[in-house]
Chain A
């Protein structure tokens, strides 16, 4: 298994989005690079290994505190396109646009391509299904 595939597998457990959805963002490779750079290869390796054996909800032991913080940071990276720990930074404009948080409620990141004239008058689910003009 490649490094990116492994990272995506770990990220599925963290984010609740499936592999296809994560890959479709086009961000997996870049996020892996950010995670390795910010956490260090060793800590990332321990996080990946832990999540291959356990669920994130099982990182509750005091000994797991460091891995739990890392798990949260990786999840925030996917949800917001930004690394949350100091120094906090948005990875790129594209990462911001691909933030998963907006998709949880059928929305889009503000300041990116809008859903089209009048789209905001429709129920959100209708727009997510392609009900509004582009």
Chain B
């Protein structure tokens, strides 16, 4: 059988892969996208979510034994300390890697919260401030691609607020495609309690208080289109935005938006030109390289039944291979082929945004479980000299009660039905009007704060392969070795101290409690803390300015292999404190320029021979 031939093969139909395919396809290149997971219509995802007993990020997807998605439920604490992982990811680190990802058409971009803050110019120079790595490119080089990504995603935000409150140097006259998402009622309550006040950061040796300000978070969800000056760019943004209805506040961005208001990679796929072909249930098992190290194509395994390992093998040739399968899966694929590792950095520097959650009850009803998961944050701990002492962090105000911090409302109800049982003779639980009132009082006042830490690249945090333990298709499974540095732990301790002050200023009852029996628990200087994964896996094929110390160059091309690109958060040298999807999208668009040049050059060579 002769192998098929395309100009480019893209591995993974998630955020980065869908964008790369789109931009190359629009330039006339013939692109094949191979997606390991299955396609599932949004209506089916919604039905699956509503009827799922555990409403976790993967609960909208049908089970897929051939291509399982790592899930938060895969982790459990071990009696007497440590943790235990089941599922796709093997783990052997000091602490559990707490983030999953989705292996399906659309990838984790199906279940993202939809927050799109840019990284700050300072974040690209993280190495000037603390232990995190600096980028080989700066904010200014990525800026035009940020704008292009914001048009593609249809970002809703207020440019003036981003300039003044976050310090982003947005171009003069810049307008985000969509009007800002209204801040939640909770945001307004928090702002009323905090704006203009200040708190102390105990990790900062300078006694300077940090001023508090609740700031709207840019987001990839449709509102109403902004009014544009008449430019081609504005027309493009308006076209992208017209695709989707305004967010109706269904409060289920994770795992599935019922109306399609939230951007997902499927929005980009709907605009793909006919030059782009998608094949789902196609698992790339090997990247092919020639004797000179140039990538020449891939081998993939096609399966029909997600419950059965039966599959057929296929080869596809292409001038350019783009890996866009998630940080962990990109590293896994290159490690399996013995590729791209002359720096010994491949698979290393695994990062996430470790999240400290704190939670409590406001004095009055907050209206939880309404609107997007988060609509505002507090930005004052992201920047400046304090970065030398502790990990910087961004504070998200969580609109969905204690669902992430403690669990869904099911737990609240179960607790009320057992309140006082069995010790007190009359304490047999609450029923009737008492129960109804107690549920209102208990759930209706809930809120949570989500402190997302920058985690620096640490070569010891890494992805390796276990050749003895393979998945159903016979491919070696990924092993994660993960931990938190003292820099991150100091950041979390500082965040907890900040949280205590915020709760006091808000007059809120603090219910935060971190217990050893839960995965992610640790103690730092005697204080009990616990971190969660943010789902922001990054850093496994880190970008740099030298092939000796990095896996990809600033255009995300593998130093060791002409024609091979590894795109996505895996390329990030440091992750700042911004949710990374927008930056990943901007990087992918930047790479497309280089890939287009590569393809043009290859084309010229083949025409002249």
A residues with a Cβ closer than 8 A to B are 12-17, 55-57, 59-60, 68, 71-72, 75-76, 79-80, 82, 84, 88-90, 92-93, 96-97, 100-102, 104-125, 127
Contacts and interface: CB of A to CB of B under 8 A. Distances in A.
Contacts of B431: 13-16, 55-57, 71, 75
B375 A16 contact: no
Contacts of B46: 93, 111
A76 B418 CA distance: 12
Contacts of A68: 428-429
Contacts of A12: 432
B601 interface: no
A111 B252 contact: yes
Contacts of A120: 182, 184-185, 249, 251, 367, 370-372, 375, 399
A90 B52 contact: yes
Contact of B414 (A56, A84, A92, A96): A84
Given A16-B433, A75-B417, A105 B250 contact: no
Contact of A111 (B50, B224, B399, B444): B50
B109 to A, nearest CB: 18
B50 A90 contact: yes
A57 B443 contact: no
B51 A110 contact: no
Contact of A82 (B53, B250, B375): B53
Contacts of A84: 410, 414
Given A92-B51, A96-B51, A113 B250 contact: yes
B187 to A, nearest CB: 8
B61 to A, nearest CB: 14
B437 A124 contact: no
Given A107-B367, A112-B250, A113-B250, A60 B425 contact: yes
A22 B208 CA distance: 56
Contact of B436 (A17, A56, A93, A115): A17
Contacts of B251: 108, 110-111, 114, 120
Nearest to A92: B51
A104 B433 contact: no
Nearest to A16: B436
Nearest to A102: B369
B210 interface: no
Contacts of A127: 367, 370
Given A16-B436, A92-B51, A110-B400, A104 B443 contact: yes
A16 B426 CA distance: 19
Interface of B: 46-47, 49-53, 55, 182-185, 188, 223-224, 246-252, 256, 258-259, 365-372, 375, 399-400, 409-410, 412-414, 417-418, 425-426, 428-429, 431-437, 439-440, 443-444
Contacts, number: 178
Given A105-B368, A120-B367, 14 more contacts: A12-B432, A15-B436, A16-B434, A16-B436, A56-B428, A88-B53, A90-B50, A92-B51, A101-B439, A104-B440, A108-B251, A108-B370, A123-B367, A127-B367
A13 B367 CA distance: 26
A121 B252 contact: no
A125 B364 CA distance: 12
Contacts of B248: 113-117, 119
B50 A96 contact: yes
B49 A117 contact: no
A72 B435 contact: no
B370 A124 contact: yes
A110 B434 CA distance: 24
Most buried by B among A111, A113, A114: A111
Contacts of B399: 120
Given A111-B49, A111-B50, A111-B250, A57 B258 contact: no
Given A15-B435, A105-B443, A114 B47 contact: no
Contacts of A16: 431-437
The 9 closest A-B pairs by CB, nearest first: A120-B371, A105-B444, A114-B248, A111-B252, A16-B436, A124-B367, A56-B431, A93-B50, A114-B250
B249 A107 contact: no
A27 to B, nearest CB: 14
B367 A60 contact: no
Contacts of B433: 16
A117 B247 contact: yes
Nearest to B248: A114
Contacts of A109: 50
Nearest to B424: A60
